Chains A and B, each alone.
Chain A
Amino acid sequence: MLVDILRSTLPMAGSDVARDWDAFYAFLTWTSTIFFVGVVAAMVIFTIKYRHRAGHKADTEVHGNVPLEIVWTVIPTILVMVVFVWGYALYRDMVTAPGDSVEIKAIGKQWLWQFQYDDGRSYTNKVFVPVNRPVKFIITSEDVLHSFFVPNMRVKKDAVPGRYTTVWFEATAEGAHIVYCAEYCGTQHSGMLATVYAVSPEIWRRFIQGREIDENKLASGAADEVTMSAAATESKGGAERPISLIDQGRGLVASKGCVACHSVDGKQGIGPSLKGIHGAGVDFANGDHLEARDLNYLREAIEFPNARLVKGYGPMMPTFRGMVSETELTAMLEYIKSLK
């Protein structure tokens, strides 16, 4: 009930986490309201009661009240701790993507969002996701800071050039959800809009089989109308099936000469083999240990190869900074990830 009153001040809740968020927001709003009304009411009552008038004098003896001061220190302390714990628990849910999430790459650039699927298809300012399945976006930027913000899902994360950040949500509502850029990025900052289309499982199934979606027909809901036939997909630029990210990455890892030193099958080489390194732990030459090598580590290993040398290897590798584009890097990392 208390949440419902606030509904009009919030965008539609497009996921379960968004609904949890709304409950927390309602708690904060109503607790704050009680405090605020209390303070203002006291002010108003004192204003009326102790206004200056003939014969009225101030009681100059009142200058403190220790028990009262303790109470109004302790109660807010307890309350903000409740807020902190609840806020942190909610935050954990908001940032911890389930392992089986659908992964989509999002690259921000002045002034558009580009979305890339593992099968190589990429879209500008629109992205299709399935409902009732967690979707994780791996975000970066090609130029300045941007921020990937989906109000309906209550999630937001900065796109930082030179590193990867992630955002996830599980849409429960089908339909279009607007994406804003929330970090100021220049002239067209407010025009850097995209749309998340959350589609039914049936449409999603057809989409991942390679069919294109006509987002303008999504409202009708019928899978046959929304997804183009295989033939229509072919004729609409789909004639050349896009090369999947893994295949693109395989090609790049070969053509950039990585394989000269790094095997892809686990064989010992001049450098560590790429097989199975994503997610695995590693010891470094300087004695440090990393629990799991993530995308940011692999990225660093390509751009700053000698920053953290793997134990047993020398500083031989040249940097590939500036020699691979953001999209090439995405593909290469996707390929390395696939070498299990």
Chain B
Amino acid sequence: MAHTSHDGENYLNHEKGLWSWLSTIDHKRIGVMYLFTVLVFFFIGGVAAMLVRAELFRPGLTLMTADTYNKMFTYHGTIMVFMVVIPLIPSAFGNFVLPMMLGAKDVAFPKLNLASYYVWLAGALVATASLVVNQLDTGWTFYTPYSIRTSTSASWVLLGAFIMGFGGIFTSLNFIATIHKLRAPGLTWGRLPLFVWASYATAIVQLLATPVLALTLFLVVLERSTGIGIFDPKLGGDPVLFQHFFWFYSHPAVYIMALPAMGIISEVIPVHARKQVFGYWAIALATFGIALVAFVVWGHHMFVSGQSELANFLFSLITMFVAVPTGVKVFSWVATLYKGDLHFRMPLLYAFAFIFVFTIGGLTGVFLAALGSNVHLTDTYFVVAHFHYVMVGGTIMGMLAGLHHWFPKMSGRMYSEGWARVSWFLVFMGFNITFFPQFIVGSQGMPRRYYDYVPEFTTLNQISSVGAWIIGVGFVLMALYLLHALFRGAKAPPNPWGAATLEWAQDSPPPFHNFDKDPVVTHGPYDYRTSH
């Protein structure tokens, strides 16, 4: 066994056959399984997005009826949030990279890790089963009482999201215990890679927020089946209470999506700028600052819901403080470039894209956090544009940076830089062409979730639709060159980027046991003086 890496044995070829994958408790394989499954859902959610944009190309009926359109945007949102953006980085990259970064052989509870995957998958399949039952038209937010009254099969999706929640809870529990207990000798807290810090904060947020959503969604299932009445005004319940419970989870969920992406950016920039990260502790602490504040800002989704003026005052005030640690991170990343030696490889290009769009996403968040401006902008396309800048611009760009960074490690192959740059250009330009006009159409007053719109909004909607298709082309191209790389790509060296974190100290792909010799850490994660 000690010779695994020498005779070319690695985690991919160490056992063969479908069953060896489905029954694996190896964190790397589980990570790859998550990545594969999530990308399948990303494709489905992406197709829904393309159809939504096609329908909105013209006012009135373009392709589909209003009911079909409502289901389309609901599936786009639900799939992208619960089956793509939330599990994407923590479960896929977290699983693959985190234990190796810690110098551990696996996560703390490998069997639970596999169980998490199946729980999450089961939930995703239950939710997807609604497609063949009676679909869903509530929007991903499931606001009561509409979600109680709708004749579509909301219970399936609610139950699915409930089950998926536990997948996330178990994964985060696993990561926290892993980070606490399985660090290699010498890997002090101050030497943890920033991706580990981000995963740690994310796991805490996910562990504490998800159960609240799970129970809340289950209560809505009970509303629909037995009329429990807690959220149903007809029975004396309070629909606004649902919003409080929902956002108590779903606001932190935004950080479950964003923090790991920030972690990847903090990883990628130093490696490809060949330089110590600027303000290590500032970034680590800002991560926790954001995670902490995340729990007490949920009410800013409800400024026009009729909640009390005092609540509005406090939630707006606290929300403002999210901007500060977020700003600190952006400034620190940019400052890391200063006096660096910048290699414009794909991960760094995606990191640039991330900073560009995420800064817009963050700044427009301030528009929505301020009470006065929120009143007009909330529930319009301005919000749609804002959260796409944060979630797609943030999480997806971060994920793409990570994908291009760790692809050689995961697959043992290199991809084509040339095609990757074309694809990067299409995704980045397409993204801005799609979503920037939505800020304008939103501030002009177009509400979100609109099937039809007044003719004045046509031009901006058409630009937006064209942009969406450009993104689509970019992703198809990416799928092609990555698939090509998987089968025909050049063999990847162990450490193609010259990174200093532990996952790169192994062969690509890594051996089944991660480390032939238990690693001892003697330097910081971004110390490039001692390595290469």
Q: Indicate whether A and B interact.
A: yes
- Interface residues of chain A, those whose CB is within 8 Å of chain B, are 9-11, 21, 24-25, 28, 32, 35-36, 39-40, 42-43, 46-47, 50-52, 56-65, 68-69, 72-73, 76-77, 80-81, 83-84, 86-91, 93-95, 143-145, 147, 149, 151-152, 154-158, 160-163, 165, 178, 180-191, 303-304, 321-322
Task: Tell me the interface secondary structure of chain B in the complex.
Answer: helix
Q: A52-B341, A80-B324, A157-B306 are in contact. Are A28 and B373 (CB under 8 A)?
A: yes
Query: With A83-B320, A88-B313, A144-B146 in contact, is A47–B342 under 8 Å at CB?
Result: yes
Residue of A nearest to B151 (CB): A186
List chain B residues, Cβ under 8 A from A83: 320, 366, 369-370
Q: Which residue of A59, A91, A145 is within 8 Å of B145 (Cβ)?
A: A145
Q: How far apart are B69's CB and chain A's nearest CB, in angstroms?
A: 9
Closest Cβ of chain B to A215, distance in Å, is: 17
- Per the bound structure, the CA–CA distance linking A186 and B239 in Å amounts to 16
Q: Is the CB of B339 within 8 A of A58?
A: yes
- Interface members, chain B 442-483 (any A CB < 8 Å): 443-445, 447-454
Q: A183 touching B143 by the CB < 8 A rule?
A: yes
Residue numbers of B with Cβ under 8 A of A are 66-67, 70, 137-139, 143, 145-146, 149-150, 233-234, 236, 238-240, 273-282, 304-306, 309, 312-313, 316-317, 320-321, 323-324, 327-328, 330-332, 334-335, 337-344, 352, 355-356, 359-360, 363-364, 366-367, 369-376, 378-380, 439-440, 443-445, 447-454, 527-529
Asked if B240 and A160 make an inter-chain contact with CB atoms under 8 angstroms apart, the answer reads yes
Across the interface, B316 reaches (CB within 8 A) one of A57, A87, A183, namely: A87
A-B contact pairs, 25 of them (CB 8 A): A9-B439, A9-B443, A11-B444, A24-B373, A35-B363, A39-B355, A50-B273, A50-B341, A57-B341, A59-B340, A69-B332, A72-B327, A73-B327, A90-B371, A144-B145, A151-B445, A156-B304, A156-B379, A157-B304, A161-B234, A162-B238, A162-B239, A189-B66, A191-B66, A321-B236
Quick one: given A32-B364, A145-B146, are A39 and B330 in contact (CB under 8 Å)?
yes
Q: How far is the CB of B288 from chain A (nearest CB, A)?
A: 15
- Given the known inter-chain contacts A24-B372, A46-B334, please indicate yes or no for A143 contacting B145, CB distance below 8 A: yes
Q: Which residue of A lies closest to B444 (CB)?
A: A11
Known: A52-B344, A161-B145. A184 touches B375 (CB 8 A): no
Q: Which residues of B contact A52 (CB under 8 A)?
A: 274, 341-344
- Report the nearest B residue to A319, measured CB to CB: B236
By a CB distance below 8 angstroms, the chain B residues around A87 are 316, 369-374
**Of A9, A62, A93, A322, the contact of B440 (CB 8 Å cutoff):** A9
List chain B residues, Cβ under 8 A from A95.
309
Q: How far is the CA of A182 from the CA of B139 in the complex (A)?
A: 13
How far, in angstroms, from A62 to B278 measured CA to CA in the complex?
7
**In the bound complex, do residue B146 and residue A180 qualify as a contact, i.e. CB atoms below 8 Å apart?**
no
- How many Cβ-Cβ contacts under 8 Å join chain A to chain B? 262
Separation in Å of the A167 CB from the closest CB of chain B? 9
Question: Could you tell me if B375 and A94 are in contact, using CB atoms closer than 8 angstroms?
Answer: yes
A64 in contact with B282 given A36-B363, A72-B327 (CB within 8 Å):
yes
Could you tell me the distance between the alpha carbons of A150 and B380 in the complex, rounded to whole angstroms? 12
Contact of A76 among B279, B323, B364 (CB under 8 A): B323
Give the distance to chain B from A87, nearest Cβ to Cβ, in Å: 3
Within the assembled complex, what's the spacing in Å between the Cα atoms of A36 and B361?
10
With both chains docked as a complex, state the minimum distance between the C-beta of A338 and any C-beta of chain B, in angstroms.
25
Contact A60 B146 (CB under 8 A): no
Which of B137, B149, B334, B344 contacts A143 (CB under 8 A)? B149
- A25 B139 Cβ-Cβ under 8 A: no
Check B447 against A50 for contact (C-beta < 8 Å).
no
Known: A28-B367, A83-B366. 4 other contacts (CB 8 A): A25-B373, A81-B320, A87-B372, A182-B378
Closest CB-CB distance, A108 to chain B, in whole Å? 12
- Collect the chain B residues with CB atoms within 8 Å of residue A144's CB: 143, 145-146, 149
Give the residues in chain A near B439, CB-CB below 8 Å: 9
Q: How far is the CB of B59 from chain A (nearest CB, A)?
A: 9
The winner among B150, B312, B360, B445 for most chain A CB atoms within 10 A is B445
Q: List residues of chain B with CB within 8 A of the CB of A36.
A: 359-360, 363
The CA of A95 and the CA of B377, in the complex, are separated in Å by: 15
Distance in angstroms between the alpha carbons of A178 and B443 in the assembled complex: 14
Given contacts A28-B367, A144-B146, A145-B145, contact A21 B372 (CB under 8 A): yes
Contact A160 B320 (CB under 8 A): no
- In the complex where A58-B528, A145-B146 touch, is A46 in contact with B376 (Cβ < 8 A)? no
- CB–CB A189/B312 < 8 A: no
Bound Cα distance A57, B341 (Å): 6
